[in-house]
A and B are shown apart, each in its own frame.
Chain A
Amino acid sequence: MITIENVSRRGFLQGMLGASAFVLCVRVIPTPLLADAVSGLTVDTTAFHPSLFVGIHTDGTVYIVAHRSEMGNGVRTSLPRILADELDADWARVKVIQADGGEQYGGQDTDGSHSVRDFFDTMREAGATARLMLVRAAAQQWGVPESQCVADPVHTVADKNSSRKFEYGELAAAAAKLPVPKKEELQFKPASAWRYIGKPARGFDVPDICSGKPLFGMDVRVDGMLYAAVAHPPVLGGKVKSVDDKAALQVKGVKQTIPIDPFAPPHAFQPLGGVAVIADNTWSAFKGRKNLKVEWESGGHTVYTSAEFKKELQNSARQPGKEVRATGNVDAEFAKGGKIVEAEYYAPHLAHASMEPPVAVADVRGDKVTVWAPTQNPQAVQDEVAKALKLKKEDVTCHVTLLGGGFGRKSKPDYAVEAAVLSKKTGKPVKVVWSREDDIRFDYYHTVAAMYMKASLDESGKPKAWLQRSAFPPINSTFAPDQFYGDDGEMAMGWSQFPFDVPNFRAENCKAEAHIRIGWLRSVANIYHAFAVQSFANELAHEVNRDPLDYLLALIGPQRTVFTGEAEKDTAEKYPFDTGRYRHVLELVAEKSGWGKKPKANGSGMGIAVHRSFLTYVATVIEVEVDDKGAVRIPHVYTVLDAGIVANPEMVRQQFEGAAVFGASIARTGEITATKGVVNQSNFNDYQVARMNDAPFQTDIHIVESNAPPAGVGEPGVPPFVPALCNAIFAATGKRVRELPLTRNGFS
């Protein structure tokens, strides 16, 4: 339930907007008022709880709050523009204000590709409400009927019967005195009248980014601030046995060393513990840490060695597991014999490696804490800092900076908790800076997964039965003890959802134990599930000498809706899994890429894959060239997506261009391994990500025009990329990639 209140008279934002400004607040959930809803500004009332808001200054500046985190996802642009559209505001006169963490916003955790889909209607309603109030203010001043006034041209209310008009700024003070109209009174613009929705626009912050403004968490500087680097236990759950900090303390600039307590299991969002080196600059803190001599007590996870674990995981996937989804009877069908095809796939751990490593500044003053952090989840920062310091959540203010990349890592606030703990112990503001080595060695890793696939084919080559099993240490292992199976969320990501027209189907999930921190990474379980399903479909096509596209289309079969998985139950009515849309993106990408029409050169090939995730349908065709030494070049990627209504096509294209590069990183070199519980990789030399010459040279994005409700765009470009690339490599070389990354298969 959304309610909108006129808070102009309550002094809300007066510091910024002036006493006569017009401010609307949207209340998403009726929870008690906390405080300091917006960065640096004070709310002076206890009567309401603002969420998204729009404010109009008497000079005509429109302020729109972004309550979700910006990490390259474009959310500080796409959401405010939806509001600005319905308000008929001039985008050049909009200023975006970043919200602090606060329960009044509802969930702020910016992950799962759901910002636009969850707040599209809310932003429109807020804009339409403000517009109607401005129109009413003008009508009153002119003494004419409201119907005679129109919000046109932009940022203006005009009298249709005369040349009179008011700029929005001129109406702000009058509009501020009006009651908020009921939702039934609002008139939403038809899609044909949209100014910004569906029209391309660059990011709000682009000019500031290009001039090097201090926008990121890494750039935060607070008076009197100390700098900290933390030596973490190399094995998860490890503890400090002894510390010799003599050499560390001799480093110029180092002030002291401070132990950080080990976590009490489950680790969840708690710091890993260890020893912090406090200094008066980052470099000294790093150098001091290098000079620390710490002996660790490593605990049980020293059993974790990737090469051995791989066998264990593959074995687990070869045995029957928990049934996730079944139709018909695969066992009965397999028992009949006929042509049986089996294949196994393996995908290793990945690290997020956002360009800005984890970093946070905290200032603890008595029982109040201020945190500045590049975080996807400021409310989790509040929760975890409060827990660690035994304070109330509302005593923790979290200012959200721009994020230098997130990809899921920065929804876990362990690094911000470290800063808070150290600020409390030093009595000064502390900035914790993770080095790249910290980032790669102490991530919440994308999990490692083994998949086993089996199908029996009829005479035409179509599967009569299809069995798929996966085993992976689940994300839940981060939050609770003894978690060995994927949850509904992981299963709905391309596993319990089965878009193929096969009468007998069973998906299973098999046991796996986690020994390092597991978390979500851009598109999560879709990565390995789509790799297995779309590779296996390609293998079946080859097995029966069919064109991979034709075979996929036959597999998909007639238009229908299919089970969306338990995790998508609540959204299944609004967002059914429609095999017609799934098929359409596939057909369109074939057309755009000239599938089957291009002459095949030696060492080159095309691969195709389709996947639906985060409610968006995506098909990708990749062209590769592989030389006789196995060096892979990716000259062209074609992606077609159907994400329903698209708020900002420019940013959608950026997300999918970026997803192709992210996918290239996963496929080519992405691999984290451990030896005796210690992660082997540490920086961009041994955990390589795609550079300009590794990335696809050209990625063409085609967005399907649609009136369907908006779906996700940040993540769904990733899953089809890896199988499309591996299928292309097979077409080029005849070599099937069943284990990622490519470097494990003699390719570079």
Chain B
Amino acid sequence: MVQLKVNGSAHTFDGDPEMPLLWYLRDILGLTGTKFGCGMALCGACTVLQNGKAVRSCSKQMSTLAGAEITTIEALGANGPNPVQKAWTEASVPQCGYCQPGQIMQAVSLLKTNPKPSDEDIDSVMTGNICRCGTYQRIRAAIKEAAKGAV
């Protein structure tokens, strides 16, 4: 039995303790904004915030999440558009868009710890998030734009 908070709401999980958070969010809670990309923490499509920090939900087993506070893309703009989401929209970052919730969550996490990241900072943190459409240049620009506002 695992008790955790997802987007501010308390939940109890008593399924397979090996189930990754990703599939709990997607299949059990129906929060499909968090995407499945690789299942091995290689691509970042499944990135969510655990206690404010970016983690790969595909590789976080439910048994390790007692007391965790999880934030997904669905809650990010709940109180008005998040500056990162706003910057993403303004810069017209997405092409297919599938990886973008993960990219956005990773960027939010980056800006929390490093409000004015350099190009190198951005590259080193965002390099774990693959975009097959190739939107990296716009992602970098959007993060810099978001950094200009208060995140």
Residues of A within 8 A of B (CB): 70-74, 202-203, 205-207, 209-216, 218-219, 221, 227, 251-253, 281-284, 286-287, 353-357, 402-407, 433, 435-436, 650, 654-655, 657-662, 664-665, 683-685, 689-693, 695-699
Contacts and interface: CB of A to CB of B under 8 A. Distances in A.
Given A252-B16, A691-B127, A692-B126, A654 B95 contact: yes
Given A282-B27, A287-B18, A689 B130 contact: yes
Given A355-B35, A355-B132, A691-B130, A405 B98 contact: yes
A436 B133 contact: no
B132 A74 contact: no
The 3 A-B pairs at the shortest CB distance, nearest first, are namely A212-B33, A661-B134, A404-B98
Contacts of B139: 692
A227 B95 contact: no
B33 A283 contact: no
A402 B15 contact: no
B130 to A, nearest CB: 6
B85 to A, nearest CB: 5
A660 B77 CA distance: 32
Interface of B: 15-16, 18-20, 23, 26-28, 30, 32-40, 42-43, 45, 72-74, 76-77, 85, 88-89, 92-101, 104, 119, 122-124, 126-140
B75 to A, nearest CB: 9
Given A283-B20, A404-B96, 14 more contacts: A72-B95, A212-B101, A216-B32, A353-B132, A355-B43, A356-B37, A404-B98, A661-B133, A665-B132, A683-B39, A689-B132, A691-B127, A692-B122, A699-B137
B131 A355 contact: yes
Contacts of A659: 134
Given A282-B23, A692-B127, A404 B35 contact: yes
Contacts of A203: 92, 94-95, 97
A215 B96 CA distance: 10
A683 B36 contact: no
B35 to A, nearest CB: 7
B11 to A, nearest CB: 15
Contact of B85 (A211, A286, A407): A211
Contact of A219 (B32, B39, B45): B32
Given A283-B20, A357-B36, A436-B40, A212 B15 contact: no
Contact of A211 (B27, B73, B132, B134): B73
A645 B104 CA distance: 34
Chain A facing B: main interface SS: loop
Contacts of A209: 94, 97, 100-101
Contacts of A658: 95, 133-135
A356 B35 contact: yes
A281 B27 CA distance: 6
B134 A662 contact: yes
Contacts of B15: 252-253
A419 to B, nearest CB: 16
Contact of B42 (A282, A286, A685): A685
A71 B97 CA distance: 8
27 contacts: A72-B95, A74-B95, A203-B97, A205-B97, A210-B89, A210-B94, A211-B74, A212-B72, A214-B32, A219-B32, A251-B16, A282-B26, A283-B16, A355-B99, A355-B131, A356-B98, A402-B96, A405-B132, A435-B39, A650-B92, A658-B135, A690-B134, A691-B136, A692-B123, A692-B127, A692-B139, A693-B127
Contacts of A660: 134
A286 B123 CA distance: 33
A407 B134 CA distance: 12
Contacts of B20: 283
Contacts of B95: 72-74, 203, 654-655, 658
A76 to B, nearest CB: 11
Contacts of B76: 211-212
Contacts of B88: 206, 210
A692 B140 contact: yes
Contacts of A664: 134
Contacts of B33: 211-214
Contacts of A698: 137
B136 A692 contact: yes
A563 B50 CA distance: 60
A405 B96 contact: yes
A657 B16 contact: no
A199 to B, nearest CB: 13
B49 to A, nearest CB: 13
B118 to A, nearest CB: 13
B1 to A, nearest CB: 14
A72 B18 contact: no
A432 to B, nearest CB: 13
A433 B94 contact: no
B124 A210 contact: no
A692 B133 CA distance: 12
A286 B104 CA distance: 27
B133 to A, nearest CB: 5
A206 B35 contact: no
Contact of A206 (B27, B30, B77, B89): B89
Nearest to A201: B92
A695 B134 CA distance: 8
B106 to A, nearest CB: 11
A650 to B, nearest CB: 6
B72 A283 contact: no
Contacts of A406: 96
Given A284-B16, A684-B130, A211 B96 contact: no
Contacts of B89: 202, 206-207, 210
A669 to B, nearest CB: 12
A701 B30 CA distance: 40
A283 B19 contact: yes
A253 B16 contact: yes
A281 B97 contact: no
Nearest to B124: A693
B133 A72 contact: yes
Of the listed residues A251, A283, A433, the one surrounded by the most CB atoms of chain B closer than 10 A to its CB is: A283
Given A74-B95, A283-B19, A691-B127, A683 B134 contact: no
Of the listed residues B19, B23, B95, B101, the one surrounded by the most CB atoms of chain A closer than 10 A to its CB is: B95
Contacts of B138: 654, 657
A282 B39 CA distance: 11
Of the listed residues A71, A405, A684, A692, the one surrounded by the most CB atoms of chain B closer than 10 A to its CB is: A692
B96 A212 contact: no
A661 B133 CA distance: 8
A70 B20 CA distance: 30
Given A252-B16, A282-B26, A404 B134 contact: no
Of the listed residues A73, A281, A655, A699, the one surrounded by the most CB atoms of chain B closer than 10 A to its CB is: A281
A71 B38 contact: no
B72 to A, nearest CB: 7
Nearest to B85: A210
A696 B137 CA distance: 8
B81 to A, nearest CB: 8
A405 B36 contact: no
Nearest to B40: A683
A71 B88 CA distance: 18
Contacts of A354: 96, 98, 132
B117 to A, nearest CB: 12
A602 B126 CA distance: 29
Nearest to A356: B98
A402 B16 contact: no
Contacts of A283: 16, 19-20, 23, 27
Contacts of B74: 211-212
